[in-house]
């Protein structure tokens, strides 16, 4: 395992224009994530945790500071370079599943490979294997409307891992789930971590945080000093 972090933020700030005002979502945030870590970024609503994930996933760029992937500064990378990074090396799981309703589960899972110009037959074969990994081989011809919320999220996870990404990101991936469905999703993240994937989840949920090997806390756009100490942190809001 290399000593160079797979992901690193150096003095990152992010500001947005809101009418005549400038809103600071992040202020001078620095941390790194090693290869193979399972990290949860935690905080209440408005803490900046989703903004951090957007930057780590190259879906947004910092206003100030540096963002590095395996030591390479991507702060001024072109959109084509960032798209290539996302398509080849990152996988994303969001709270709301984002499945295309006109495609069945198998076709939804194959999309990252299709976008990477993989031959259709190979893309569908690999999508089928990914669905088998999340226990949904028997549902691959079903559409989103025919699946439960937990099943839709498992399809979304299969889609996120179908191209074997180096980093798997999750933005409140259990936010719409409860009970067994929620626990099952967390078990899949633990499984992928055990297989060597780097996992980065954003959550306000203390149980999600407890599954990680390290926790990073944000409050009002700043890092909190309670890293990895779940009991030391409380949230003012029950939602993200």
> What are the backbone dihedrals phi and psi of residue 183, each rounded to the nearest 5 degrees, phi first?
-65, -35
For position 11, what pLDDT does the model report?
97
CA geometry: angle at 192 spanning 124 and 115, to 5°?
A: 35
> What are the backbone dihedrals phi and psi of residue 186, each rounded to the nearest 5 degrees, phi first?
-65, -35
For position 72, what pLDDT does the model report?
94
* Spatial CA neighbour of 56 closest among 96, 105, 10: 10
What distance in Å separates the CA atoms of residue 43 and residue 240, rounded to the nearest whole number?
8
For position 239, what pLDDT does the model report?
39
- Which parts of the chain have pLDDT scores under 50? 236-240
For position 179, what pLDDT does the model report?
80
H or E, element range at 130: helix 120-133
Contacts of 224 (CB under 8 A, 6+ apart): 43, 217, 218, 233
For position 227, what pLDDT does the model report?
64
The 3-state DSSP class for residue 57 equals: coil
């Amino acid at each position: 395992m290399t000593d160079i972090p797979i992901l690193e933020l150096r003095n990152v700030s992010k500001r947005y224009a809101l009418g005549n005002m400038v809103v600071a979502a992040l202020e001078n945030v620095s941390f790194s994530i090693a290869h193979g870590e399972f990290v949860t970024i935690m905080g209440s609503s408005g803490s900046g945790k989703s903004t951090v994930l957007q930057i780590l996933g190259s879906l947004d760029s910092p206003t100030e500071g540096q963002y590095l992937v395996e030591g390479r500064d991507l702060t001024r990378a072109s959109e084509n370079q960032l798209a290539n990074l996302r398509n080849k090396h990152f996988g994303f799981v969001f709270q709301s599943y984002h499945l295309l309703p006109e495609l069945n589960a198998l076709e939804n899972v194959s999309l990252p490979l299709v976008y990477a110009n993989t031959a259709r037959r190979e893309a569908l074969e690999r999508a089928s294997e990914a669905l088998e990994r999340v226990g949904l081989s028997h549902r691959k011809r079903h559409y989103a409307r025919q699946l439960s919320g937990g099943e839709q999220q498992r399809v979304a996870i299969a889609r996120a891992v179908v191209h074997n990404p180096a980093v798997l990101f999750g933005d409140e991936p259990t936010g719409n789930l409860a009970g067994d469905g929620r626990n099952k999703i967390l078990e899949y993240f633990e499984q992928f971590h055990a297989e060597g994937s780097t996992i980065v989840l954003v959550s306000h949920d203390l149980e999600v945080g407890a599954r990680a090997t390290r926790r990073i806390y944000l409050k009002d756009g700043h890092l909190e000093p309670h890293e990895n100490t779940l009991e030391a942190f409380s949230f003012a809001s029950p939602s993200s």
